[in-house]
């Protein structure tokens, strides 16, 4: 039995038992964030807050949702929407949140790309972040199946068919994933399980890992400057106005968090504006028809956040299309290794990479718009050019970064 | 001493791995389609009442089955493009019978009787009246389900000699 003194306060009592003061230091008051940052550095906590909101709204939806092919559609569109008190609120929060979480993920990713926050010790931050992107994609897709409308059914059909691998004809694998020849009860039940349990568990684990990868290399700053965190921390802890001014860092909590809370405030004004007045942007009208395995909707397209990769699949014949699609899904993982330049600096100081950054961003926007349009005439051509550009950009990345002058 | 620890470590590791593999196999089996799903795989359709150039959609294993009785003109066209082998011949009549799922990613193509062809709205694939592909991205014509001719009826899910011949000469592939 270890020796315990009688505690004089609750804090001391907890500190004796679980080292709460050390925990607070490591996670909050002595986790240092550079001062030289802007509002884009708040996206991480904005994402964490959005995930929290998705979790809470999801818990309330789960109370009335019925994962049966006969009842799922009505349990959402009738029970939750018309009978359950404020059921509509949870559904609209969940739908809008699922859409906005991807908007913020993309902003978070492109912020990292712009400022070079994936290099020199920060590779695992990037990789764990990309892992989260993949897990969120799986979470979004499995959730999209649950209302069992026409878009749910046909997105389920098309996406699971991707696993046949084109000419490989792995139909057995597709049927295994579905548990049936077509998406049916077995399919709905297992995707329900994935959406409400396995994927959220994996996401929570990956978030912890993502935070862990940040702790030693620390977050980047606007100039990619290497900061002497020990010296700056010492200056901050000295506590005088003069020394804190000289210090290049602030503690995560409460100083950085208070900046985050301000950005979150602005974000949640947009969030709830959409929830109350424009929730329809996250609700595809086609999905208000119940699933029908004998009728394909005229146009099948994914939600906006998957359109760019869908458009990389679409303009090519099946096999090359699948290969292109598969590469597009994982190519961002390799960014820290394809960028051969030693410079950690914002893109505007990196010459050719600056152009590369904006071309990539514009190309992905073009792919997104083309993915929504029907695959006909000029739109097909623009889509094909944009898809090829995507790969040309990735192939050129190691070359232009290799040639980049050392700053 | 260390060899005894090594032995215990390896024994523990070995049995854990064995149990892990067993658990994985159980998990794989749990995800398999149920026997009841697999057993409900036979459907009989009657071709007697089909009309020329009018698409009929039946259902087999949850999938739509297209049945299109060919007009004289369509049969001539199929002969010219050497696609008669895709059609099922009963008496004097020819029928196109195929799984109505685009071979690209499984959407249901729509039939336009004036153009005597199918268009898949998802990714723009096109098929002619024998369900042979005429415009990519689909890699091949619509798949023909296993069938057995029984008078004017077809038993879907059972492999008759006509179907086996189609499989053998590569006209269709196994669905």
The whole-angstrom distance between A108's CA and the closest CA on chain B is 31
* A228 and A306 together in one domain: no
Q: Do the chains contact at B63 and A319, CB–CB below 8 Å?
A: no
B124 touches A: beta carbon within 8 Å: yes
Residue A226: C-alpha distances to residues A42, A178, A336, A343, B9 (Å) = 20, 50, 18, 11, 45
Which residues are within 8 A (CB) of A310 and not within 5 positions of it... i.e. 6 or more apart? A301, A302, A371
Average pLDDT value for chain A = 94
Residue B128's pLDDT is 83
Mean pLDDT, to the nearest integer, of B144-155?
A: 85
For residues A275 and A94, give the distance between their C-alpha atoms in angstroms, rounded to a whole number. Answer: 9
Of B32, B57, B106, the CB nearest to A161: B106
> What's CA B149's distance to the chain center, in Å?
17
Q: Do the chains contact at A179 and B32, CB–CB below 8 Å?
A: yes
In a domain, A7, yes or no: no
For residues A41 and B151, give the distance between their C-alpha atoms in angstroms, rounded to a whole number. Answer: 73
State the maximum Cα–Cα separation within chain B, in Å, rounded to a whole number: 89
Look up tokens 């006509």; give the residue: B162
* A286 and A334 together in one domain: no
Of A265, A281, A300, the position where a domain reaches its end is A300
What CATH number is attached to the domain comprising A37? 1.20.810.10
Residue B55's pLDDT is 84
A314 touches B: beta carbon within 8 Å: yes
Choose between A353 and B85: higher pLDDT. A353
Residues of B in contact with A316 (CB under 8 A): 137
* B46 and B94 together in one domain: yes
Asked if the ipTM is above 0.95, the reply is no
Which residues are within 8 A (CB) of A381 and not within 5 positions of it... i.e. 6 or more apart? none
Residue A42's pLDDT is 97
In a domain, B174, yes or no: no
Q: Which of A393, A382, A401, A383 is nearest to A332 (CA)?
A: A393
- Report whether pLDDT(B94) > 90: no
Of A282, A300, A318, the position where a domain reaches its end is A300
* B111 and B155 together in one domain: yes
Q: How confident is the model at residue B1 (pLDDT cuts 50, 70, 90)?
A: low
A375 touches B: beta carbon within 8 Å: yes
Look up tokens 């409900």; give the residue: B40
In a domain, B122, yes or no: yes
Which residues are within 8 A (CB) of A27 and not within 5 positions of it... i.e. 6 or more apart? A252, A253
Structure tokens at A314: 């679409």
* B137 and B60 together in one domain: yes
Q: Do the chains contact at A179 and B57, CB–CB below 8 Å?
A: no
Counting the structural domains of chain A, the total is 2
Q: How confident is the model at residue B164 (pLDDT cuts 50, 70, 90)?
A: confident
A186 touches B: beta carbon within 8 Å: yes
* A263 and A309 together in one domain: no
Q: Do the chains contact at A293 and B63, CB–CB below 8 Å?
A: yes
Q: Which of B30, B41, B122 to mutate to test the interface with A (most CBs of A within 10 A)?
A: B122
Which DSSP string do the residues of A78-125 spell out, in sequence order?
Answer: IIIIIISTTHHHHHHHHHHHHHHHHHHHHHHHHHHHHHTTTSTT-HHH
Residue A354's pLDDT is 97
Q: Which chain B residue shows the shortest CA-CA distance from A191?
A: B31
* A277 and A233 together in one domain: yes
For residues A299 and A308, give the distance between their C-alpha atoms in angstroms, rounded to a whole number. Answer: 16
3-state secondary structure of A344: coil
Q: Which of A188, A191, A313, A318 to mutate to test the interface with B (most CBs of B within 10 A)?
A: A318
φ/ψ (deg, to 5) at B94: -120, 135
Q: Which chain B residue shows the shortest CA-CA distance from A190?
A: B31
For residues A104 and A114, give the distance between their C-alpha atoms in angstroms, rounded to a whole number. Answer: 15
In a domain, A318, yes or no: yes
| B window 77-106, beta carbon within 8 A of A | 103-106
Residue A33's pLDDT is 96
Residue B75's pLDDT is 78
For residues A265 and A262, give the distance between their C-alpha atoms in angstroms, rounded to a whole number. Answer: 5
The whole-angstrom distance between B63's CA and the closest CA on chain A is 7
Q: Do the chains contact at A318 and B31, CB–CB below 8 Å?
A: no
What is the phi-psi region of residue A167: left when phi exceeds 0, alpha when psi lies from -120 to 50, beta otherwise? alpha
Domain limits at B20?
2-32
A171 touches B: beta carbon within 8 Å: yes
Residues of A in contact with B167 (CB under 8 A): none
Q: List pLDDT tens digits, range A242-292.
A: 999 999 999 999 999 999 999 999 999 999 999 999 999 999 999 999 999
Secondary structure letter of residue A284 according to DSSP: -
> Residue B111 pairs with which residues in a beta bridge?
B118
**Do B97 and B147 meet the contact criterion of CB atoms below 8 Å apart?**
yes
Q: Do the chains contact at B138 and A314, CB–CB below 8 Å?
A: no
List, for chain A, all residue ranges whose pLDDT scores fall below the cut of 50. none
* A37 and A121 together in one domain: yes
* A125 and A182 together in one domain: yes
The whole-angstrom distance between B26's CA and the closest CA on chain A is 13
* B7 and B71 together in one domain: no
In a domain, B84, yes or no: yes
Of B33, B105, B109, the CB nearest to A175: B33
In a domain, A10, yes or no: no
In a domain, B173, yes or no: no
* A190 and A339 together in one domain: no
Which DSSP string do the residues of A317-343 spell out, in sequence order?
Answer: -HHHHHHHHHHHHHGGGGHHHH-----
In a domain, B104, yes or no: yes
* B49 and B108 together in one domain: yes
Domain limits at A191?
28-102+114-300
Counting the structural domains of chain B, the total is 2
Can you say whether the dihedral through the CA atoms of A292, A293, A297, A300 is positive or negative? positive
Q: Which of A299, A317, A281 is nearest to A374 (CA)?
A: A299
Mean pLDDT, to the nearest integer, of B107-123?
A: 83
């Amino acid at each position: 039995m270890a020796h315990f003194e009688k505690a004089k306060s609750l804090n001391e009592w907890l500190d004796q038992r679980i080292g709460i003061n050390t925990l607070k230091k490591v996670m909050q008051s002595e986790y240092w964030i550079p001062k030289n940052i802007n509002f884009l550095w708040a996206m991480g906590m904005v994402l964490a807050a959005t995930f929290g909101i998705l979790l809470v709204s999801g818990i309330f939806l789960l109370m009335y949702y019925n994962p049966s092919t006969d009842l799922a559609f009505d349990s959402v569109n009738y029970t939750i929407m018309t009978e359950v008190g404020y059921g509509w609120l949870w559904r609209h929060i969940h739908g809008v949140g699922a859409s906005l979480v991807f908007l913020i993920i993309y902003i978070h990713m492109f912020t990292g790309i712009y400022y070079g926050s994936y290099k020199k010790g920060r590779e695992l931050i990037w990789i764990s972040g990309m892992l989260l992107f993949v897990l969120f994609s799986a979470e979004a897709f499995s959730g999209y199946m649950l209302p069992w409308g026409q878009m749910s059914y046909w997105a389920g059909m098309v996406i699971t068919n991707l696993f046949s691998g084109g000419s490989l004809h792995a139909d057995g694998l597709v049927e295994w994933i579905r548990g049936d020849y077509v998406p049916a009860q077995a399919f709905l039940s297992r995707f329900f399980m994935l959406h409400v349990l396995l994927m959220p568990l994996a996401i929570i684990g990956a978030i912890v890992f993502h935070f862990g990868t940040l702790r030693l290399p620390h977050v980047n700053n606007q100039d990619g400057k290497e900061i002497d965190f020990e010296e700056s921390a010492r200056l901050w802890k000295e506590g005088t106005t003069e020394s804190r001014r000289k210090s290049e860092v602030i503690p995560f909590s409460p100083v950085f968090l208070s900046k985050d809370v301000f950005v979150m405030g602005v974000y949640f004004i947009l969030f709830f504006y959409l929830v109350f007045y424009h929730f329809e942007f996250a609700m595809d009208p086609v999905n208000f028809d119940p699933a029908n395995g004998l009728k394909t909707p005229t146009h099948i397209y994914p939600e906006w956040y998957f359109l760019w990769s869908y458009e990389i699949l679409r303009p090519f014949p099946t096999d090359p299309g699948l290969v292109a699609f598969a590469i597009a899904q994982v190519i961002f993982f390799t960014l820290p290794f394809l960028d051969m330049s030693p410079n950690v600096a914002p893109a505007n100081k990196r010459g050719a990479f600056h152009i590369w950054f904006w071309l990539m961003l514009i190309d992905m926007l073009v792919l997104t718009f083309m993915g929504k349009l029907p695959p006909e005439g000029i739109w097909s051509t623009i889509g094909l050019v944009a898809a090829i550009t995507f790969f040309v950009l990735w192939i050129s990345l190691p070359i232009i970064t290799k040639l980049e002058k050392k700053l | 001493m260390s060899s005894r620890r090594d032995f215990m470590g390896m024994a523990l590791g070995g049995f854990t791995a064995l149990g892990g593999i067993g658990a994985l196999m159980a998990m794989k089996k749990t995800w398999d389609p149920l026997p009841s799903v697999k057993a409900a795989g036979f459907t009989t359709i009657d071709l007697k009442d089909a009309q020329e150039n009018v698409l009929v959609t039946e259902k087999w294993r949850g999938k739509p089955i297209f049945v299109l009785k060919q007009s004289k003109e369509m049969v001539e066209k199929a002969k010219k493009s050497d696609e008669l082998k895709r059609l099922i011949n009963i008496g004097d009549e020819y029928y196109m019978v195929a799984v109505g799922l685009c071979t690209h990613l499984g959407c249901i193509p729509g039939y336009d009787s004036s153009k005597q062809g199918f268009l898949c709205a998802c990714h723009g694939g096109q098929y002619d009246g024998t369900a042979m592909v005429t415009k990519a991205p689909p890699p091949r014509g619509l798949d023909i389900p296993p069938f057995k001719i029984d008078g004017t009826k077809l038993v879907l899910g059972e492999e008759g000699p006509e179907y086996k011949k189609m499989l053998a000469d590569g006209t269709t592939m196994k669905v």
